Amino acid sequence: MKRKALILTAILLGTTVAGAPAHAICFDPLGCSNTKRYNTRDLRKLNCDELWFVRNAILDDHNYCFKTEKGISAFGNDGCAFDDIADLELNSFERFNLKAIQQMEQNKRC
């Protein structure tokens, strides 16, 4: 899978909120998935592989257990804990971003 430089600048940031560890997967120029709603204009610039990668990176950050060979190959399943996306502890930004990415994937017929 070929990714543009902007996708390769993904950074996993650890922060602390009320003493509990939290993570954010951040992409330049999209922003951090847990603090910013991704806009359609920026998502439209991504190709299908990049959209797939960003969407699944958010899932991976929340210990999702991938079922497809493509997902397992890209992210692995070491430390995974959730088989169902509905069980992931996503905040409102992450839920919005996942839906926005899925909508763009549909629009692009990915």
3: exposed, middle or buried (C-beta count within 10 Å: 0-12, 13-18, 19+)? middle
What token pair was written down for 52? 């797939």
d(CA 35, CA 97): 10
Angle between the N-to-C axes of helices 92-107 and 48-61, in degrees from 0 to 180, rounded to the nearest 10: 160
Q: Give the pLDDT mean for 31-53.
A: 94
Tell me the pLDDT tens digit for each residue of 14-29: 433 333 334 678 888 8
Mean pLDDT of the chain: 83
Domain range summary for the chain, segments of one domain joined by +: 5-107
Of 4 and 110, more confident? 110
pLDDT, position 24: 73
Tell me the pLDDT tens digit for each residue of 43-85: 999 999 999 999 999 999 999 999 999 999 999 999 899 999 9
pLDDT, position 9: 46
d(CA 65, CA 78): 9
Angle at 27 between CA 25 and CA 28, to 5 degrees: 155
pTM over 0.85: no
Domain 5-107 adopts which CATH fold?
A: Methane Monooxygenase Hydroxylase; Chain G, domain 1 (1.20.58)
Tell me the pLDDT tens digit for each residue of 81-99: 999 999 999 999 999 999 9
d(CA 101, CA 55): 7
pLDDT, position 28: 81
